[in-house]
A and B are shown apart, each in its own frame.
Chain A
Amino acid sequence: MSLSATDVKKIAHLARLGIEDKDVAHYAQDLSGMLDLVAQMNALNTENVSAMAHPLEQHQRLRADVVSEVNLREQFQAIAPQVEAGLYLVPKVIE
Chain B
Amino acid sequence: MEWETVIGLEIHTQLATKSKIFSAAATAYGAEPNTQACAVDLGLPGVLPVLNEEAVNMAIKFGLGIEAEIAPVSVFARKNYFYPDLPKGYQISQMDLPIVGKGHVDIEVDGTTKRINVTRAHLEEDAGKSLHEDFHGLTGIDLNRAGTPLLEIVSEPDMRSPKEAIAYARSIHNLVKWLGISDGNMEEGSFRCDVNVSVRPKGQAEFGTRREIKNLNSFRFMQQAIDFEVDWQIEQIESGRQIQQATVLFNPNTGETRAMRSKEEANDYRYFPDPDLLPVLIDEALKAKIKADLPELPTAKKQRFINQYQLDNDAATILTSSRFLADYYENVVTESGCEAKLSANWIVGDLLGALNKAGLEISQSPIEASRLAGLLKRIADNTISGKIAKQIFDTLWESAQTADEVIDAQGLRQITDTGAIAAIIDEIIAANQKQVEQYRGGNEKVFGFFVGQVMKAMQGKANPAEVNKLLKDKLQ
| Partner of B50 from A58, A63, A95 at Cβ < 8 Å | A63
Residues of B within 8 A of A62 (CB): 51-53, 56
- State the Cβ distance, A90 to closest chain B Cβ, in Å: 4
Is B39 a contact partner of A76 (Cβ separation < 8 A)? yes
Residues of A within 8 A of B75 (CB): 53
- Interface size range on A against B: 20 to 34
Please count the residue pairs between chain A and chain B whose beta carbons lie under 8 angstroms apart in the complex. Answer: 121
Is A59 a contact partner of B279 (Cβ separation < 8 A)? yes
Is A72 a contact partner of B278 (Cβ separation < 8 A)? no
Residues of A within 8 A of B23 (CB): 69
Is A94 a contact partner of B18 (Cβ separation < 8 A)? no
Give A89 to B273 CA distance when docked, in angstroms: 31
Give A23 to B142 CA distance when docked, in angstroms: 37
- State the Cβ distance, A19 to closest chain B Cβ, in Å: 16
User: What mask results when residues 80 to 92 of chain A are scored 1 for a CB within 8 Å of chain B, else 0?
Assistant: 0010111111111
Tell which of B38, B51, B143 has the most Cβ of chain A within 10 Å.
B38
Is A87 a contact partner of B34 (Cβ separation < 8 A)? yes
Is A63 a contact partner of B24 (Cβ separation < 8 A)? yes
Is B275 a contact partner of A54 (Cβ separation < 8 A)? yes
Stretch from B132-140, B314-322, B437-445 forming part of the interface with A: B132-140
Those of B115-159 within 8 Å (CB) of chain A: 130-132, 135, 137-143
Is B280 a contact partner of A89 (Cβ separation < 8 A)? no
| Partner of B140 from A65, A66, A87 at Cβ < 8 Å | A87
Residues of A within 8 A of B39 (CB): 72, 76
* A93 contacts B by Cβ under 8 Å: yes
Is A89 a contact partner of B139 (Cβ separation < 8 A)? yes
Give A84 to B52 CA distance when docked, in angstroms: 32
- State the Cβ distance, B332 to closest chain A Cβ, in Å: 34
**Known contacts A59-B281, A77-B34; is-contact A53 B141 (Cβ 8 Å):** no
Is B139 a contact partner of A60 (Cβ separation < 8 A)? no
* A22 contacts B by Cβ under 8 Å: no
Residues of B within 8 A of A77 (CB): 34
Is A84 a contact partner of B53 (Cβ separation < 8 A)? no
Is A95 a contact partner of B249 (Cβ separation < 8 A)? yes
Give A59 to B282 CA distance when docked, in angstroms: 10
Give A8 to B69 CA distance when docked, in angstroms: 43
* A64 contacts B by Cβ under 8 Å: yes
* A45 contacts B by Cβ under 8 Å: no
Closest chain B residue to A59, Cβ basis: B281
**Known contacts A59-B280, A76-B34, A93-B130; is-contact A87 B142 (Cβ 8 Å):** yes
Closest chain A residue to B272, Cβ basis: A53
Is A86 a contact partner of B36 (Cβ separation < 8 A)? no
Give A39 to B37 CA distance when docked, in angstroms: 43
Is A89 a contact partner of B141 (Cβ separation < 8 A)? yes
Closest chain B residue to A64, Cβ basis: B53
Residues of B within 8 A of A88 (CB): 34, 84, 140-141, 143
Is B33 a contact partner of A65 (Cβ separation < 8 A)? no
User: Can you spell out 26 A-B residue pairs with CB atoms less than 8 angstroms apart?
Assistant: A16-B82, A53-B273, A53-B275, A54-B275, A60-B51, A60-B278, A60-B279, A62-B51, A63-B24, A65-B18, A66-B19, A66-B24, A68-B19, A71-B35, A73-B37, A82-B138, A84-B135, A85-B33, A85-B135, A87-B135, A87-B141, A88-B143, A89-B138, A90-B138, A92-B137, A95-B261
Q: Other CB < 8 Å A-B pairs besides A63-B53, A85-B140, A87-B141, 7 of them?
A: A60-B279, A63-B50, A69-B19, A69-B25, A71-B36, A87-B131, A93-B139
Which B residues contact A (CB, under 8 angstroms)?
17-19, 23-26, 32-39, 42, 44, 50-56, 75, 82-84, 130-132, 135, 137-143, 249, 260-262, 268, 270, 273, 275, 277-281
